[in-house]
Amino acid sequence: MTGYFPTEFAERYRALGYWTGETFAAFLPEAARRFGDAEALVGEDHRGAPSRMTYRELDRAAAVAAAGLRDNGIGAGERVVLQLPNTVEYVTVLFGLFRIGAVPVFALPAHRRSELVHFARMSGAKALVTAAEIARFDHRALAQGVAAEIGGVAVFVVDDEPFVDGDDTEPAVVAPESLAFLQLSGGTTGVPKLIPRTHADYLYSVRESARICGLGPGTRFLVVLPAAHNFPMSSPGILGVLWAGGTVVLGTDPAPHKAFPLIEAERVTMTSLVPPLAMLWLQARPGSSADLSSLALLQVGGAKFPAEAARRVEPELGCRLQQVFGMAEGLVNYTRDDDPEDLVLGTQGRPISPDDEVRVLDDDGAPVPDGEPGHLWTRGPYTIRGYLGGVDAASFDAEGYYRTGDIVRRLPSGHLVVEGRAKDQINRGGEKIAAEEVENHLVAHPAVIDAAVVAVADEFLGERTCAVILVAPGEVAEPPRPTAPELKKFVRERGVAEYKVPDRVELVERFPTTGVGKISRRELRRALAELVAGRNNEEKR
Ligand code: AMP
Ligand code: DBH
């Protein structure tokens, strides 16, 4: 292991032509040479003013951002936490960072103090780039607070326009198999994990995704999911579209009353959504007069899209459906254009690469036959071999396979059906929440003896969170029992993303035990999930 992959695998992926000399530093200059005056990017800037850029203009704007960053002391190899909404600055700053060989760390606009401090610390970030305000939240103050807490971290706010001028910078020369950026994991542990992706591995997945999805200069791709999320970034996403010479249309609001008119006005051909948004679009379609006839393909992924909803996409939205099952750690599966209907509606697709090695194993690690559910493990030319800092090494086996934590069935065609999950994570409509991370925040409350965060089924989001709180028995406990709103406020004030604040809180005076004594966290969460589901049904009756 010399780089991020063992030598023999790196040699193989190179020999097969998967890994090339291409890098993100040269990506946009190269695209500008190839696509010049074609439209690259449409969206709003941080002030809400409309903006349109050709490939040449986008490359120029990125070069200016690069110069600005460089003049402010950011250099090659340095880590920079990027937290921006879906505005054009997201793309110009991203490619500005790439141009100088800096390493972006992809925060989402929803992240707050505790997450940002962790990302910055873990990555050894030199700077944080943000906007003054995102969705009416003061991100300038947030970033400044984070920087003050850590020390030695610069803050750049795009509203202050440090990137309007500056000499041009030549794209940095970076090694293709070196670290390109740090992506975020949905997480299963007490703190979020950072995912190291190299230029070569990620670009392979981007190029192949663009090919599988049939992208070309005519593609007009709408981004309404948070741009930094791995799905709209790379599957094939913003990067795939810019690689293929298409146009990226940035939207700041996925709500149908905003997104539908944008599809009509920009003649959008393709977009990607998480299941709850796809449901919302299906619901809203009959009440909207917007012309969606340009929309040819809707990608749905991030969480399981039920077959009943999948079936409605083509007749009701008038476009083809593609299911996407991916992960920021690597492996991405797509249903294909020429797949029979039952596979498009009833599976989450098959892997990008013939060299994505997939194992479906039982609890004891033995392979299960096709069609039977088991644990999904994978290894391949764009799947990581470890997290940053070597944390959570238990997610990788001795042969380098990554344990996805997903329970899947593999069909003889290679298509995967996601049946469930073995990891301690809640998938809240595509937003992943690590149970342990939220529990750690809850137990910091003086009246909380212990806490378990479990999933409860939800018609709209698929799952929501419920925090089961162990409190002292008796009505006159000291300190007094916390109320649900108090606990939610407590978690929020510890500076975590809003989607991680428990949707529901249940107080209990004892946790289940076995006759022998303590039970594992895993079993505890399972038992409490059942208890909560039971209470839920009682309430409905
Ligand atoms: P992350 O590690 O945050 O990138 O999240 C990846 C995880 O999201 C996968 O391991 C799955 O659990 C889940 N996921 C993504 N796409 C789908 C899908 N189409 N169906 C079911 N689960 C999905
Ligand atoms: O959920 C995900 O993380 C995801 C979904 C679809 C992803 O990372 C991807 C495609 O690349």
Range 393-409 average pLDDT: 98
What distance in Å separates the CA atoms of residue 533 and residue 251, rounded to the nearest whole number?
37
Assess whether the C-beta atom of 332 lies below 6 angstroms from ligand 2.
Answer: yes
What distance in Å separates the CA atoms of residue 236 and residue 174, rounded to the nearest whole number?
23
449 pLDDT band (50/70/90 cuts)? very high
Assess whether the C-beta atom of 229 lies below 6 angstroms from ligand 1.
Answer: no
Whose tokens are 């542990």? That residue is: 189
Three-state DSSP class for residue 417: strand
What distance in Å separates the CA atoms of residue 107 and residue 276, rounded to the nearest whole number?
22
480 pLDDT band (50/70/90 cuts)? confident
- 469: closest CA among 481, 455, 457? 481
162 pLDDT band (50/70/90 cuts)? low
- 391: closest CA among 136, 161, 118, 82? 118
Residue 94 contacts by C-beta under 8 Å, 6 or more apart in sequence? 62, 82, 104
Range 39-66 average pLDDT: 96
Residue 96 contacts by C-beta under 8 Å, 6 or more apart in sequence? 62, 63, 64, 65, 66, 68, 69, 163
Q: Strand pairing of 247-250 and 220-223?
A: parallel
Output 71 or 25, whichever has higher pLDDT. Answer: 25
pLDDT given at position 525: 93
Assess whether the C-beta atom of 209 lies below 6 angstroms from ligand 2.
Answer: no
pLDDT given at position 384: 98
- In this predicted structure, the answer to whether residue 240 has a pLDDT above a threshold of 70 is yes
Assess whether the C-beta atom of 186 lies below 6 angstroms from ligand 1.
Answer: yes
pLDDT given at position 497: 97
Distance of CA 337 to the CA centre of its chain: 24
In whole numbers, what is the pLDDT of the chain averaged over residues?
95
Contact 406, 418 (CB under 8 A): yes
Side-chain-side CA neighbours of 193 within 13 Å: the count stands at: 26
Of the chain, the percentage scoring pLDDT greater than 70 comes to 96
pLDDT given at position 477: 64
From the CA of 301, give the closest atom in ligand 1.
Answer: 19
180 pLDDT band (50/70/90 cuts)? very high
Task: Name which residue sits closest to atom 4 of ligand 2, judged by CA.
Answer: 326
Distance 206 CA to ligand 2 centre (A): 13
What distance in Å separates the CA atoms of residue 55 and residue 368, rounded to the nearest whole number?
49
pLDDT given at position 351: 99
- 310: closest CA among 287, 344, 349? 344
Distance 507 CA to ligand 2 centre (A): 34
- In this predicted structure, the answer to whether residue 475 has a pLDDT above a threshold of 90 is no
334 pLDDT band (50/70/90 cuts)? very high
pLDDT given at position 163: 67
Of the listed ranges 14-18, 361-365, 535-539, the one predicted with least confidence: 535-539
404 pLDDT band (50/70/90 cuts)? very high
pLDDT given at position 61: 95
User: Ligand 1 test: best mutation among 432, 433, 463, 500, most atoms within 8 Å of CB?
Assistant: 432
3-state helix, strand, coil in the chain (%, to 5): 35, 25, 40
pLDDT given at position 479: 77
428 pLDDT band (50/70/90 cuts)? very high
What distance in Å separates the CA atoms of residue 120 and residue 107, rounded to the nearest whole number?
10
515 pLDDT band (50/70/90 cuts)? low
From the CA of 235, give the closest atom in ligand 2.
Answer: 11
Whose tokens are 């879906």? That residue is: 86
Residue 49 contacts by C-beta under 8 Å, 6 or more apart in sequence? none
Assess whether the C-beta atom of 487 lies below 6 angstroms from ligand 2.
Answer: no
Whose tokens are 């960053």? That residue is: 69
Residue 1 contacts by C-beta under 8 Å, 6 or more apart in sequence? 7, 385
161 pLDDT band (50/70/90 cuts)? low
Range 115-137 average pLDDT: 97
Contact 321, 225 (CB under 8 A): no
- In this predicted structure, the answer to whether residue 82 has a pLDDT above a threshold of 80 is yes
- 328: closest CA among 237, 425, 421, 196? 196
- In this predicted structure, the answer to whether residue 539 has a pLDDT above a threshold of 70 is no
Whose tokens are 């704007």? That residue is: 61
Output b/e per residue, 379-413; b: 16+ Cβ within 10 A. Answer: bbbbbbbbbbeeebeebbeeebbbbbbbbbbbbee
User: Ligand 1 test: best mutation among 427, 437, 499, most atoms within 8 Å of CB?
Assistant: 427
Q: Determine the Cα angle at 185 with ends 4 and 323, to 5°.
A: 100
Range 78-99 average pLDDT: 98
Assess whether the C-beta atom of 531 lies below 6 angstroms from ligand 1.
Answer: no
pLDDT digits (tens, 9 = 90+) for 302-330: 999 999 999 999 999 999 999 999 999 99
- In this predicted structure, the answer to whether residue 217 has a pLDDT above a threshold of 80 is yes
Q: Which H or E element spans position 235?
A: none
pLDDT given at position 519: 79
Is residue 114 classed exposed, middle or buried when 0-12, 13-18 and 19+ CB atoms within 10 A define those classes?
Answer: buried
2 pLDDT band (50/70/90 cuts)? low
- 103: closest CA among 141, 133, 138, 74? 74
- In this predicted structure, the answer to whether residue 535 has a pLDDT above a threshold of 90 is no
- In this predicted structure, the answer to whether residue 517 has a pLDDT above a threshold of 70 is no
Assess whether the C-beta atom of 348 lies below 6 angstroms from ligand 1.
Answer: yes
pLDDT given at position 521: 87
pLDDT given at position 516: 67
Ligand with the closest atom to the CA of 418: 1
What distance in Å separates the CA atoms of residue 428 and residue 110, rounded to the nearest whole number?
14
What distance in Å separates the CA atoms of residue 472 and residue 475, rounded to the nearest whole number?
9
What distance in Å separates the CA atoms of residue 78 and residue 195, rounded to the nearest whole number?
16
518 pLDDT band (50/70/90 cuts)? confident
